[in-house]
């Protein structure tokens, strides 16, 4: 072995040793970086809001968006509610129409009753006027008759009817007729005449 060959072997050994040390150092640095970066990345991901993470977004969507069956159930409930409200509204409208018809019928009947009452009052007024006119004329006829001629008529009359005529006649004519009556008829008519004014207030 020459001297030159002896000097070259240690250089190759040094170079190999340095290369191995470099590889080991780099590998150790890479492992350390991996071990330290993993937890740091995990901590950063954990600190992010759920809205920014894909998993949180999917969970919220699944909670907020109803399913197709739920939508169909809600739609059916809304339709049933709408039908119920429509039926109630129609029932109320029917009742209102019935009440309007009843009110119109009542108003018509009231108007007819008012007209009938007015006609009846007019008829009674005419009848009362005619009756009063007839009584006045008949009383005048009895007054003009002689007492001995009218007394027999009053004898046959109802005491109340006869008393009504005598109350309307002049006192002289009524006294002449009373004098021509029988005592019993004169007494009965006198009682009726006295009782006619007994119910009149004194004050």
pLDDT digits 0-9 by tens, 110-160: 888 888 888 888 777 777 777 788 888 988 998 899 989 999 999 999 999
Reported confidence tier of residue 67, pLDDT bands at 50, 70, 90? confident
Rounded to whole angstroms, how far apart are CA atoms 51 and 57? Answer: 5
Q: Write down the pLDDT at residue 5.
A: 46
| Percent of the chain predicted with pLDDT > 70 | 64
Token pair 């954990």: residue: 46
- Residue 165 above 60 pLDDT? yes
How many C-beta atoms surround the C-beta of residue 139 within 10 A?
19
What is the pTM for the complete model shown? 0.38
- Least confident range from 3-7, 97-101, 168-172: namely 3-7
Distance of CA 67 to the CA centre of its chain: 41
Q: HSE, CB side, 13 Å, CA atoms: give it for residue 52.
A: 6
For 28-56, what is each residue's pLDDT tens digit? 665 665 555 555 555 554 555 544 444 44
Return the closest-CA partner of residue 192 out of 153, 156, 165: 165
Q: Round to whole Å and give the CA distance between 94 and 41.
A: 73
pLDDT score recorded for residue 120: 83
User: Which pLDDT band holds residue 106 (cuts at 50, 70, 90)?
Assistant: very high
Average pLDDT of the chain is 77
């Amino acid at each position: 072995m020459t001297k030159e060959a002896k000097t070259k072997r240690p250089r190759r050994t040094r170079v190999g040793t340095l290369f191995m040390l470099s590889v080991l150092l780099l590998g150790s640095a890479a492992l350390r970086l991996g071990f330290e970066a993993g937890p740091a990345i995990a901590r950063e991901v954990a600190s992010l809001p759920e809205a920014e993470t894909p998993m949180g977004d999917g969970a919220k969507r699944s909670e907020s968006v109803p399913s197709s069956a739920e939508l169909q159930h809600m739609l059916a409930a809304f339709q049933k509610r709408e039908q119920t409200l429509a039926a109630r509204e129609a029932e109320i409208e029917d009742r209102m129409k019935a009440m309007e018809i009843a009110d119109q019928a009542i108003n018509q009947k009231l108007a007819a009753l008012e007209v009938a009452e007015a006609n009846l009052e007019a008829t009674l007024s005419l009848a009362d006027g005619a009756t009063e006119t007839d009584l006045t004329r008949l009383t005048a006829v009895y007054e003009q008759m002689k007492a001995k001629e009218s007394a027999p008529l009053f004898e046959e009359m109802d005491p109340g009817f006869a008393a009504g005529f005598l109350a309307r006649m002049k006192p002289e004519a009524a006294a002449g007729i009373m004098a021509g009556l029988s005592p019993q008829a004169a007494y009965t008519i006198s009682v009726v005449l006295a009782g006619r004014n007994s119910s009149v207030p004194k004050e």
